[in-house]
Structure 1
Amino acid sequence: MDSGSIRRTFLEFFKKKGHTIVPSAPLVLKNDPTLLFTNSGMVQFKDYFLGNATPKASRIADTQKCLRVSGKHNDLEEVGIDTYHHTMFEMLGNWSFGDYFKKEAIAWAWELLTEEYKLPKDRLYVSVFAGDKDDNLPFDQEAYDLWKQFVAEDRIIQGNKKDNFWEMADLGPCGPCSEIHVDLRSDEERATTPGRDLVNNDHPQVIEIWNNVFMEFERYWNPEKGGASELFKFDLEYHGEDKKAKREKLRSSLTLLRYLPAKNVDTGMGFERLCRAINLVQSNYDTDVFTPLINFAAQTSNIPYGKDEKTDIAMRVIADHVRAVSFAISDGQLPSNAGAGYVIRRILRRAVRYGFTFLNFKEPFIYKLVPILSGPLKDVFPELESQKEYVSKVIFEEEASFLRTLEKGLKRFELIQNEAKNGVINGDLAFELYDTFGFPFDLTSLIARERGLSVDEQAFNAAMAKQKSRSKTDAAKETGDWVIVGSDVKPQFIGYDQQEAEVKIIKYRKIKQKNKELFQLVFDKTPFYAESGGQVGDTGYIQNINEKITIVDTKKENELIIHFTEELPEKLESSFEAKIDQQKRSLTEDNHSATHLLHAALRSVLGKHVEQKGSLVNDKVLRFDFSHFAAMTTEEIQKVEYIVNQKVRENIPLDEKRNVPIEQAKALGAMALFGEKYGDFVRVITFDPKYSVELCGGTHVKSTGQIGMFKIVSESSVAAGVRRIEAITAEAAEQYFRSELAVLEEVRALLKNPKDLLASTKSLLEEKHALEKKLEVFQQEQANQIKDQLAAKAVKSNGYHLIIERVTVPNADALKNIAYGLRNQFDDLLMILAADVESKPQVAVMIGEKLMESKKYHAGNMVKELAKEIEGGGGGQPFFATAGGKNINGLAAVLDKARKLI
C-alpha cells in the first residue's frame, strides 16, 4: 500500500464516521507566542480546547505538517541515526469536541488499523494510564475495559504519567491517553522476547504509531501557592541534570486539576511510522515517503544506499531535512539568524554538512530534491508544488553560502579538537565556529560526538549571551494565570465599523518582561485592532468617570485579543468607554492599503512570481518583503511608484466583503498567502477587481485617494530570493518631499541660483576632481622631497643605513610611499619614522631586504613596542609595519625609545 493510499484511507474512513476533513495548518505559527512551529496535530485546534473559539464541527479529521527540533519535543539528534524519528512529519488525527469519547475512539482506532489497514493483531499492543499519586489521578479503568473487547489483557500495558498522560503545556486542557504500539520484529525475534517488555523502551522495531488522548481535565495554578513566579524562578536558576523531574514535581505542587465542561478526543498517528508498519519494513526510510529522495542522493553521489552506515545516515538526514526546510519555506519561513528562521537554517546546514563530509557534495545539491518531494504531494500540500522553483532557489542560495565557509570551518575544528581538555571542546571556541563560520551549536556538537568529544554548552551560551548584550533574565517573560472578572464570553472585534465602544473587562493577567510589570486585559468586545498580518496593534485608552487607562499595545494570542496596559483599573467590574488613537489608525490604514496597491504593481512590473513574504505596517512607514531574485532597477522602481500613485489618484473605493466562502474568494481571484491559515469564511479586500483582490483581516482606507501620495524610500535584499521595499504615504510622504525640496533650494542658493542646477553641479564636481588631481601631484612631489631629505640623513652604522626621524606628511599613503621608496634605495635600510599625519600620530618601521636576511629585526614587533608611546597599536609584515595612536605629543618619546632599541 503506497503512502498516498494510506493517507486517503485514513481521511475517507473518518469522513464516513461523520468527520469534517480540514486542511493542514501552516508549519510556521502566527499569533501564538508559546510555539515557533506547529509541533502536533492539536495546535490548530488549541483555541477550541481553551474555549476561546467555537469549532466548525464537533468531529474533525486531518493530516497536519509538524516540526519538532526544539523544546521538549526535540528529535533532531536522533534523526537519520535511528529509523523512526524525524524533524518534519505528518500527523494523522481525528478529533471530537464534546461529541464522542473513549468508547468510539478506541473502537474506531482498532477497526481502522486491523480491518482497513490489515495490520496483524498479534503485532499490536496498547497502553492505558496507570494513575498518578502526585496529582491524585486514578487508573483509567474505562479505557482498560474498552480495550479488553479487542485485545488480550497481556497486551494491555499500564503506563506512567510520562507516557500516558498528555498535557498541552504547564497549564490548560489535559488528560489520560492510550497509545497503540506495533512490534515489527521478525517472528524469530518475537519468539525470544515478549513485545510488551519492549514497549516505550526505545526499541527500534517496537514503536508507537497512534496516541488517543482523552481530554477531560484542565490544569490551573493553585491560588494558595506561588504559581507562575515559583516555576519561572526555578526555570531561570536551576541547572541540575535532574531538572526535568524536579520541575515536574514542582509544577504538580503548584497546580490543581479540575474537570472540563466537555470531554474531548485528540488523536495523533505518525504517518511515516504507519506507512512502515503497514508495509512491514525495517525503517521509515524504506517507505515511498523517503525512497525517491534517498535514491536520487545515492545516484547523484554514486554511493549505494545500504552498504555503509555513515553514508546511509547522511542520505537519511538529507531526505528528512529537505522535507522540513522545503515545507517551512513554502509556508513563509525563510532561513535567518534568529527565531524560527534560525531553526530552519540549522536544519539545512546540518544536511549540507552531512552531504559534504560523507557524500562528497562540494556544490549545492539539496535544492535538486525539491521537485522530487513536491510532485507526489501536490494534491494534499499544493503550496509546495506551486512554489517549488522559489523554494529551490532559496535552498540553493543558502547551500552555496554555507559551502563557502564549511571547509574552512571544518579545518578550524581540526585545530580546536586538538585543544580539547578531558574530551571537552571549549565553549568559546565552539562560539567562534558559530560566529565566524556559521556552525550552529548542534552541528558542532554532532561533529564532536562523531569524534568521541563533547562541547561545553554552558560556556557557548555565555558567549552567545555576551554577543547579544542581554542576559537570559532580560529575554525571559513571566506570565501569570488569567483571572476571570465577568462572564467568560468569546470576545468580539468590532473595529472595522467602530472606533469607540462601551466595553467590559472579562479577564486579565499580569506579565513581567525585562523587569517591567504590565497587564493584559481582554474585553467582551473591542474596537482595538490586534497586531496581525503585518499591521501593528492599535493604541488608545479606556475610561469611565473614575479613571482613564492607556492602552499601549494590542496583540493577538491565538483567538484572544489582548490589550496591554501599564496599570490595572481599580474597578475591574465597571463599564469603560474604549477609544482607539484615530490619527494613528488612519495613517496605518493609508500604509496598509498602499501595500495592496504595491503588491499588485510589483506583480505587473516584475512578474507573477512576486508574492508577499512579510510586511510591517504602522503609522509611519510600510515595509513589504516579496519574492524576487534580483535588485530592482531604477526604472522598475519608478514604474512601480507611478502605477501605485496612478491608483491613488483614481480614488478607487474600497470593496470589502466579509464572511466569503474561501473557495468563492479564490474564484474572485483573491491572493491567498501561503503560510497563512484561512478559515472556511474569509474577508476579501478589493481595489478594482482587475487590479488588487486580496484576503486580508486588516483595516483599510475607504478609497485610495485617502493615501494622498506614495514614495519608495529604499529597496534592498533581506534573504535569499527575498527583496524588501520601504515606502511612505500621506503625511510622511508630504514631509519627505518638503524636506527634499528644502535641501534642493538650499543647494540652489549656495550655487548662486544657476539657471541649470544640474549642469552647474556637474561643472562643480569636475572642477573638484581636477583640483584633487593637482593636489595628488603636489602631495607626491612633497613626499619625494621628504624622501630625498631622509635619504640624505641616513647614517651608515654597523653594516646598515639607519634613519630615525620625525616627519609631517599629508596622509598615510604618502608615509607608505616614502618608506618603500627608501627601501628601494637602501637594501640594508633600518628606518623608524614618527609621523604627524593630519595632526594624528603614526609610526612606521621599514627594514631593507638585505638586512631582513639577518633576522635580527622584526618590523611588526618593533612597531607594537613603539606604539605604546602614542597610546596606540598596530602591526604588519616582518619588513614593514605601521601603528596609529591617540597622543600626538608622544612622537618625541617614540624617537627616544627607537634609538634605545637600536
Structure 2
Amino acid sequence: MTGREIREKYLKFFEQHAHQILPSASLIPHNDPSILWTAAGMVPFKPYFTGQAVPEYKRVTTCQKCIRTPDIESVGRTARHHTFFEMLGNFSFGDYFKESIIPWSWEFITKELNLPQDKLWITIYQDDDEAFEIWHKTVGVPAERIVRLGKDTNFWEIGVGPCGPCSEIYVDLGEARGCGAPDCQVGCDCDRFLEIWNLVFIQFFRDEEGNYSPLESKGIDTGMGLERVASVLQGVASNFDTDIFREIMDFTANLAGHKYGQAADTDLALKVIADHCRAVTFAVSDGALPGNEGRGYVIRRLLRRAVRFGRVLGVHEPFLYKVSQAIIEQMQDAYPELKQKSGHVIRVIHTEEERFLETLAAGSDILATLISEAKASGASEIIGNDAFRLYDTFGFPLELTQEIAAEQGLTVDEDGFNAAMEEQRKRARSARQEIEYISERGVLYKALREELGDTRFNGYSTLDTDSNVMAILKDGLQELSAVAGEEVEIILDVTPCYAESGGQITDHAMLIGPDLSVEVSFVNKPVEGLIVHRGKVLSGVLKRHDSVKVKVEQPRRQDTARNHSATHLLHKALKEVLGEHVNQAGSLVEPDRLRFDFTHYAAVTPEELLRIEEIVNQAVLANYSIETFETSLAKAKEMGAAALFGEKYGKQVRVVKMGEFSLELCGGTHLTSTAEVGLFKIFNETSVGAGLRRIEAVTGLGVLKYLGAKEAQLEELAAVIKSPVQEVVRRTEALVQHNKALEQEIEALRTKLAKSEVQDILGRITQVKGVSVLASVVAAPDMDNLRGMVDMLRDKMGSGVILLGSTAGEKVNLVAAVTKDLHGQGLHAGNLVKEIAKMVGGGGGGRPDMAQAGGKNPEKLQEAIDTVHQVVEKQMK
C-alpha cells in the first residue's frame, strides 16, 4: 500500500463508523500560545477535551500535519526520527469509549491493513483491567501477547487537566531486527518491536493536588504515524525507504547528480533534505516565515541545515525551492492548501536560500580570519567554541570547517565544539514546552460556564443593554460583592461589550445601577461562550444577582470600528496593487490607529503606497454600504469571501460585505458605510520578517491629527532655516549643497594637515633589533582618519611597525600596522594593538598586517604609546 492509500483507507474506515472526516488543522496552533507547533492529532481538539468549547461533531477522524523538533540532529541517522510527519487519528468527545475503539483498531489493523495477528502485541496500563478484558475476551488477543506497563509509558497526563491510561499496538518485525538478547520483548530499545498506534483513554481529571477523579464525559484520542505504518506495509527497514520519502529523495538525487543507496554520506544528506524540506514547505504554507525567534527560528534552522547538506551533494546554488515544488506536486491532493499557496511557498524558500548563501560567504571570511590568527600565533587548531559559533551563526557544519582548516595544516578542537553543542541542547531542552490540555485558570472558567451558561453577546446591534450580574471574581475566587476601590472580574448574562479577539481590542464600558458605577477596562473570552469583564468599582457596592445597565463607550467603539473597516479596504487594495499572493498575517485595531501585517517579498514602493492609499480613499468616497450576515463556511467560500489564513471557523460564519469591493469573514465590529471611515492615511510601512511586511495607518480625525502634526513640523523647520513654508524644500536643498561643499573643503584641509603631520612624525622612527618602529600620539578626529595616516606612513616607511593613537572625547582610538616583510619574525599587528589597548582600558585586534582597537582612558594614552617598543621587542623574541 502507498502512503496515499493508507491515508484514504484509514479515513474511510472511520467515516463508515459515523466519524466526520475533518481536514488537517494548521501547523500553527489556533489561539494557543503555549506551544509553537501542532505536534499531535489531538492539539486542534484540546478545547473539546477540556470542555472549553462545544464540538460540532461527537466523532471525528483526521490526518493531521505535525511538526516536532526536539531531536533535529537525529533526523536521517535513525529509521524513524522526523521533524514533519502525518498523524492518523480518530477522536470521541463524550461519545464512545474503550468498548468501541479497541475492536475497531483490531479490525482495521488485521482486516484493512492485513497485518498478521501473530505478529501483533498489545500494551496496556498496569491497572487497566477493563482494557485487558476487551483486548483478551472481546477481541481475542492471547493473554501472553498483552503486556502491562507502568505509568511512565502507558498513562497520558501533563499537569492539571484531563488524562488517562493508554494502550499501544506493536508489530514484531522479526528476530533479524532485534538485539539478540534472550529477554528481548515489547519495550526493548531495539528495532524489533515497533509501536504503530496509541489509543489514549481520557477518563480522569487530575487536580492541582494530584488527585484523580472520573470524568463524566470520557474521550478517545488515538494517533497512528502514517510513515511508520507505511514502512511496515511496504516491508522496508526505514521510513525513508517508503514511497512517501523515496519520491522526494530520488528527485533530489537526480537534481544533484547522485543516486540513493550508493554512499552513506549521500544517503544521509538526501534523507535530511527530504525531511526538512517537507517541514519547511508545510510550515510556510500554513503561514510561518523564517526569522530569528520562535517558529521563524525553527524554519530558518531547518532550511539552513538542509542547504548545508546540499553542499554534501555538491550543490552550491539555491535548490530547495525546486525540492519544495516536487513535495507540493506529491502532496497537493491530500493537502490542497499547498497548491493554493505554492507561489508564496516557493518564493519564501528561494529568498531564504539566497540570503543564507550570502551568510555562508560571510562565514567563509570569518573562518579565513580564524585560520590566519591561529597560524600567526603558532596554534595548530581552531578553538572548538569558535567552530561552534561558525556552525550556529553562519551555518558552517563542523565537517566543512575541518576540511578548510586541514587545507591550511590545522585541526579543529572537536571536543570543544561538541561541548558547546551540548550546552545549546541543554538550553533548548530546558526551554521546551509541553502540550497542555488546560491551565488551572482555564479549569475555573470552564466550571463557571457550566454553572452559569454562555454569555449572550448583543453588541453588534446595541451599545446599551440591561443585564444581570451572574458572578464576581477576585483573585480567582468567587465573591458575593465588591465595594468601591476594588478591581474584580464580572460575568453578566448578556453584554454589548466586545471581547478582545481577532486583532480588535476590547471595548470600555460602564456598569450602572442604583448608587453603583463600575468602570470596565478589559473584556475577554477565556473559554468559548464565556465573556469576562474586568473592572473597578467606582462607587456603591456591586453584588451578585444585581441588575445593571451596561453602556459601551461609544466614541471608542466607533473609532475602533472605523479602523477595523479600513483594514478590510486596505486588504483588498493591497491585493489589487501588489498581487493576489498578499494575505493578512495579523492585525491590531485600536481607536487611534490600525496595524496590518501581510505577506509580501519586498518593500512597498512610495508609488505603490500612494496607489494603495488612493484605492482605499476611493472606496471610502464611494460610500459602499457595509452589511453583515451569517452563512455556512462552504457558502461563504463559494461567494469568494476572504478568510484569515490559519483561523479556525465553525459551520456558521459571519461575513462582512462592503458593496462589491470587499467580502471577508470577520467577527469584529464595523461601520454601516465606508464613508464613515472619513479619511485613510498610511504613516508607516516596514519589514517585520522575511516575506512579511507591516502597514500602519490612521483614519477619520486621526488623519487630521497626523496632518496637523506634519504641518507643525514643517512650520518649525521653516523657522529654523529662516524660510517661508512654501520655500522650505528649495532652501533646504541649497543648505545641503552648501554643507557638502564645506565638508569637502574641510576634508581637503585635513588631508593637507595630515600629510604635513606625517612628515613630522617620520622623524620619530626608532630601531628595535634592526626593525623600524614608529609609535606616536597624533591628532585624528576619528578612526577613518587615523587609518589614513597609518596608510600614508606605511607607504613612506616601506618596511616597519607602526602604532598610532588618538583621542576623541572620552575615547581612545588605536591603529597598528606591520609590513608584510616582517610577518615571519613574530610580529602581528592584531596582537600588538591588543596588548597596547589593555593599558588604556580597552580591547581589539585584527589581521597580522593591520588592526585597530579602542579604549576608555585617554589620560593613559601617552604612557601606553611609550611601551610600544618594549612590546615589539618581546614579540620578536
Q: TM-score, normalised to structure 2's length? A: 0.81
Please say if residues 843 and 866 of structure 1, whose CA atoms lie closer than 8 Å, have aligned partners that are also in contact. Answer: no
> 1:437 is matched by which residue type in structure 2?
F
Determine helix, strand or coil for the equivalent of 2:623: coil
Deviates more, 1:398-407 or 1:884-893: 884-893
1:293 deviation in Å? 0.5
2:502 matched residue in structure 1: 533
> 1:366 is matched by which residue type in structure 2?
L
Alignment of structure 1 residues 71-86 onto 2, 5 Å: 74=70, 76-86=72-82
Determine helix, strand or coil for the equivalent of 2:244: coil
Structure-2 separation of matches of 1:796 and 1:675 = 73
1:698 deviation in Å? 2.6
1:309 deviation in Å? 3.7
Change (3 A) 1:879 1:626: closer
Change (3 A) 1:895 1:185: closer
Structure-2 separation of matches of 1:263 and 1:349 = 44
1:639 deviation in Å? 0.6
2:742 matched residue in structure 1: 771
Change (3 A) 1:583 1:885: farther
Please say if residues 64 and 90 of structure 1, whose CA atoms lie closer than 8 Å, have aligned partners that are also in contact. Answer: yes
Determine helix, strand or coil for the equivalent of 1:318: helix
1:383 deviation in Å? 0.7
2:588 to 613, 616, 620: 616
Deviates more, 1:450-459 or 1:598-607: 450-459
> 1:392 is matched by which residue type in structure 2?
I
Change (3 A) 1:851 1:566: farther
Identity within the alignment, %: 40
Matched, 1:762 2:752: no
Structure-2 separation of matches of 1:454 and 1:858 = 31
Matched, 1:672 2:662: no
Please say if residues 256 and 314 of structure 2, whose CA atoms lie closer than 8 Å, have aligned partners that are also in contact. Answer: yes
Change (3 A) 1:13 1:545: same
Change (3 A) 1:523 1:267: farther
Structure-2 separation of matches of 1:482 and 1:79 = 38
1:322 deviation in Å? 1.9
Aligned length, in residue pairs: 830
> 2:339 is matched by which residue type in structure 1?
E
1:163 to 145, 150, 153: 153
2:106 matched residue in structure 1: 110
2:187 matched residue in structure 1: 200
Determine helix, strand or coil for the equivalent of 1:289: helix
Change (3 A) 1:677 1:428: farther
Determine helix, strand or coil for the equivalent of 1:363: coil
Q: Deviations over 1:710-755 (max 9, x none)?
A: 2222333333333332333334432221111112122334333275
Change (3 A) 1:611 1:12: same
Please say if residues 198 and 206 of structure 1, whose CA atoms lie closer than 8 Å, have aligned partners that are also in contact. Answer: yes
Please say if residues 509 and 521 of structure 1, whose CA atoms lie closer than 8 Å, have aligned partners that are also in contact. Answer: no
Change (3 A) 1:63 1:481: closer
Change (3 A) 1:260 1:635: same
Structure-1 separation of matches of 2:607 and 2:172 = 65
Structure-2 separation of matches of 1:93 and 1:462 = 32
Structure-2 separation of matches of 1:98 and 1:854 = 81
Determine helix, strand or coil for the equivalent of 1:210: strand
1:710 matched residue in structure 2: 680
Alignment of structure 1 residues 119-134 onto 2, 5 Å: 119-131=115-127
Determine helix, strand or coil for the equivalent of 2:217: strand
1:400 matched residue in structure 2: 354
2:144 matched residue in structure 1: 154
1:174 matched residue in structure 2: 163
1:890 deviation in Å? 5.5
Deviates more, 1:526-535 or 1:401-410: 401-410
Determine helix, strand or coil for the equivalent of 1:734: helix
Determine helix, strand or coil for the equivalent of 1:35: coil
Change (3 A) 1:491 1:155: farther
> 1:432 is matched by which residue type in structure 2?
R
1:616 deviation in Å? 3.1
2:247 matched residue in structure 1: 292
Please say if residues 177 and 191 of structure 2, whose CA atoms lie closer than 8 Å, have aligned partners that are also in contact. Answer: no
Please say if residues 494 and 526 of structure 1, whose CA atoms lie closer than 8 Å, have aligned partners that are also in contact. Answer: yes
Q: Deviations over 1:149-203 (max 9, x none)?
A: 3433333333333333333x312222233322223438x8899999x96333344
2:569 to 577, 594, 597: 597
1:234 matched residue in structure 2: none
Q: Deviations over 1:282-315 (max 9, x none)?
A: 3333332222112112222333223344433332
Alignment of structure 1 residues 334-733 onto 2, 5 Å: 334-357=289-312, 359-405=313-359, 432-433=389-390, 436-437=393-394, 454-455=418-419, 459-460=423-424, 482-483=443-444, 484=447, 487-499=451-463, 502=467, 504=469, 527-538=496-507, 553-554=522-523, 559=528, 563=532, 573=544, 575=546, 583-658=555-630, 660-689=631-660, 691-733=661-703
Change (3 A) 1:31 1:895: closer
> 2:294 is matched by which residue type in structure 1?
G
Structure-2 separation of matches of 1:430 and 1:542 = 63
1:301 to 233, 256, 260: 256
1:251 matched residue in structure 2: none
Structure-1 separation of matches of 2:689 and 2:498 = 30
Change (3 A) 1:509 1:836: closer
**Structure 1 residue runs without a partner (length 5+):** 132-137, 222-253, 419-424, 512-517
Change (3 A) 1:684 1:775: same
Determine helix, strand or coil for the equivalent of 2:229: helix
Please say if residues 787 and 815 of structure 2, whose CA atoms lie closer than 8 Å, have aligned partners that are also in contact. Answer: no
Structure-1 separation of matches of 2:491 and 2:397 = 40
1:538 deviation in Å? 4.7
Change (3 A) 1:776 1:406: closer
Please say if residues 125 and 149 of structure 2, whose CA atoms lie closer than 8 Å, have aligned partners that are also in contact. Answer: yes
Change (3 A) 1:139 1:404: farther
Change (3 A) 1:565 1:457: farther
1:215 matched residue in structure 2: 202
Please say if residues 384 and 415 of structure 2, whose CA atoms lie closer than 8 Å, have aligned partners that are also in contact. Answer: no
Structure-2 separation of matches of 1:541 and 1:426 = 65
Structure-1 separation of matches of 2:234 and 2:847 = 67
Please say if residues 426 and 455 of structure 1, whose CA atoms lie closer than 8 Å, have aligned partners that are also in contact. Answer: no
1:662 deviation in Å? 0.8
Structure-2 separation of matches of 1:371 and 1:530 = 42
1:745 matched residue in structure 2: 715
Q: TM-score, normalised to structure 1's length? A: 0.79
Structure-1 separation of matches of 2:413 and 2:115 = 38
Please say if residues 834 and 841 of structure 1, whose CA atoms lie closer than 8 Å, have aligned partners that are also in contact. Answer: no
Structure-2 separation of matches of 1:796 and 1:360 = 54
Change (3 A) 1:128 1:801: closer
2:230 matched residue in structure 1: 275
Please say if residues 353 and 406 of structure 1, whose CA atoms lie closer than 8 Å, have aligned partners that are also in contact. Answer: no
The CA RMSD measured in Å over matched residues stands at 4.7
2:57 matched residue in structure 1: 57
Structure-2 separation of matches of 1:153 and 1:308 = 45
Structure-2 separation of matches of 1:824 and 1:75 = 56
Please say if residues 18 and 59 of structure 1, whose CA atoms lie closer than 8 Å, have aligned partners that are also in contact. Answer: yes
> 1:200 is matched by which residue type in structure 2?
G
**Structure 2 residue runs without a partner (length 5+):** 375-381, 402-411, 477-486, 873-877
Determine helix, strand or coil for the equivalent of 2:243: coil
2:215 matched residue in structure 1: 260
Structure-1 separation of matches of 2:171 and 2:804 = 82
Determine helix, strand or coil for the equivalent of 1:198: coil
1:3 matched residue in structure 2: 3
Change (3 A) 1:374 1:505: farther
Structure-2 separation of matches of 1:860 and 1:371 = 49
> 1:124 is matched by which residue type in structure 2?
L
> 2:111 is matched by which residue type in structure 1?
E
Deviates more, 1:335-344 or 1:585-594: 585-594
1:95 deviation in Å? 2.5
